[in-house]
Amino acid sequence: MFIGIIFIVGIVVLVLMVVGIYNSLVKMRLRVDEGWSDIDVQLKRRYDLIPNLVETVKGYAKHESETLTAVMEARSKATAINIDAGSATAEDMAAFAGAQEGLSGALGKLFAVSENYPDLKANQNFLQLQNDLTDTEDKIQASRRFYNGTVRDYNTKVQTVPSNIIAGMFGFTLREFFEIEDEQERKNVKVEF
């Protein structure tokens, strides 16, 4: 009788442990998805701001069409890559990160062009768009850090004992970090005119 009670208590403890680990894995997976969604929201905001910024610059810098075209092409490349963080491979994430870095570099060149136009730099619409875009870039960086932090925590939980057993039983898989793979993209952008 006493052994039966110990056996039942042991089973109940084991079931509660499995449920607790499963629920923590689900919460962490949802945090990773939330992190990816935050990146998407900020990228959407960036994509919406860029055409307005380019149009404002066009009015002042008519002969800078090459730079303006490069920004719009980089924006097109960046918006063409749609990935799901849950099923993204390392190559998908690298392509996505590369497109985002290309767009950031093109925007840097656009801001450098604006330095040649004092009237443009004084234009309130341009200044507001530039500030909004700078704020958005900061939020994108924060979202990337949050996402990578949640991926780190989630992947650690998926790979450590005893949660790795539960993760394997219920199909929890590792997620890819948002990082740059091409060493050239890690270097500072050189702006030359």
Dump pLDDT digits (tens) for 92-139. 888 888 888 888 888 888 877 777 777 766 677 778 888 888 899 899
The domains found in the chain, sorted by start residue, are 2-186 (1.20.1440.20)
For 103, 163, 186, the CA distances from 180, given in Å and listed in that order, are 14, 29, 7
Return the closest-CA partner of residue 78 out of 100, 97, 51, 101: 100
Of 32-41, 118-127, 179-188, give the range with the top mean pLDDT.
32-41
Of 59-63, 89-93, 130-134, give the range with the top mean pLDDT.
130-134
pLDDT band at 181 (very low <50, low <70, confident <90, very high): low
**Confidence at residue 191, expressed as pLDDT on a 0 to 100 scale:** 40
Q: Is the pLDDT of residue 185 over 90?
A: no
CA–CA distance, 45 with 63 (Å, rounded to integer):
27
**Is residue 70 within 8 Å of 106, Cβ to Cβ?**
yes
**Is residue 52 within 8 Å of 75, Cβ to Cβ?**
no
